[in-house]
Amino acid sequence: MAGKKSLVDLPKIPGELQSLELELEVMEQDSEFVDRIVQDCELYGEAPYKACFDRMKFTNVTMRGARMRKSEFTDVIFERCDLSNADFQDAIFHRVVFKDCKLIGMDLSSGMLRNASFIDCHAEYAVFRMINAKRVRLHGGTFAYGDFFNSNLTEFYLEETRLDQAQFSQTKLSGIDLSSCEFDSLGATLPELRGCIISPLQAAAFAGQLGMVVKR
């Protein structure tokens, strides 16, 4: 397992960050923020397209329903944040960590994830439709009812994550290890499941999902 984790690079953030009071609706087009920390606040509204956040940390920040389409996040940590129903469509995340965050219904459709870690996050109903993801780690937490429709998942690591009824239609799961994950069923057919790694108990569940009868 240690070898897999080393393939997901962590954010490179300086030891000291200057505090930033951020307001989405007063930001200008192509705004850029570097070496800052945003903490203990609420952010609402819509940011301009292509806002850039580099070497930053968001701690205990509420962004429920905020719209940040096409934004870019590089070397960023989100810790104990509430991003429920936030709109990050077409956004780019590179070396980003989401730790102990609430991501219920968050929309990352058509976005790009590179070296991204989701640690102990509650992400039920999160939308990852048509994402391009490489070197992504989901550890703990839940992505139940999540939508990964028609996504490209490369070096995608799942560790003890709840995935019940997550949708993987038209997403190839070959080589992805699901054996430590918890689910009763997945939204996937045999072509999507071909080549994925599962536990014996999960094999029985999949057999039932595919209409087979397991004799005990």
Specify the residue for token string 């949708």: 167
**Half-sphere exposure in the Cβ direction for 27 (13 Å, CA):** 25
pLDDT over 90 at 204, yes or no: no
Tell me the domains of the chain and their CATH numbers: 2-209 (2.160.20.80)
The average pLDDT across 71-78 equals 97
Amino acid 72: pLDDT: 96
Using alpha carbons, select from 71, 79, 83 the residue that is nearest to residue 97: 79
Q: Could you read off the pLDDT of 156-201 as tens digits, one per residue?
A: 999 999 999 999 999 999 999 999 999 988 898 888 988 999 998 8
Instruction: State phi, psi for 56 to the nearest 5 degrees.
Output: -135, 165
CA 33 to chain centre: 22
pLDDT over 70 at 44, yes or no: yes
Q: Which residues of 71-104 are buried (b: 16+ CB within 10 A; e: fewer)?
A: bbbbbbbbbebbbbbbbbbbbbbbbbbbbebbbb
Amino acid 3: pLDDT: 43
Amino acid 142: pLDDT: 98
pLDDT over 60 at 2, yes or no: no
The mean of the pLDDT values for the chain is: 91
> Which of the listed ranges 42-56, 128-142, 171-185 does the model predict with the highest average pLDDT?
128-142
Tokens of 15: 């030891």
pLDDT band per the 50, 70, 90 thresholds, residue 143 = very high
pTM score of the predicted model: 0.91
Can you give the three-state secondary structure of 14-56, one letter per residue?
Answer: CCCCEECCCCHHHCCCCCEEEEEEEEEEECCCECCCCCEEEEE
Between CA 74 and CA 58 the distance in angstroms is 13
Specify the residue for token string 């014996």: 200
Tokens of 206: 């999949």
* DSSP states of 53-117: EEEEEEEEEE-TT-B-TT-EEEEEEEES-B-TT-B-TT-EEEEEEEES-B-TT-B-TT-EEEEEE
The average pLDDT across 54-83 equals 96
Q: Could you read off the pLDDT of 89-130 as tens digits, one per residue?
A: 999 999 999 999 999 999 999 999 999 999 999 999 999 999
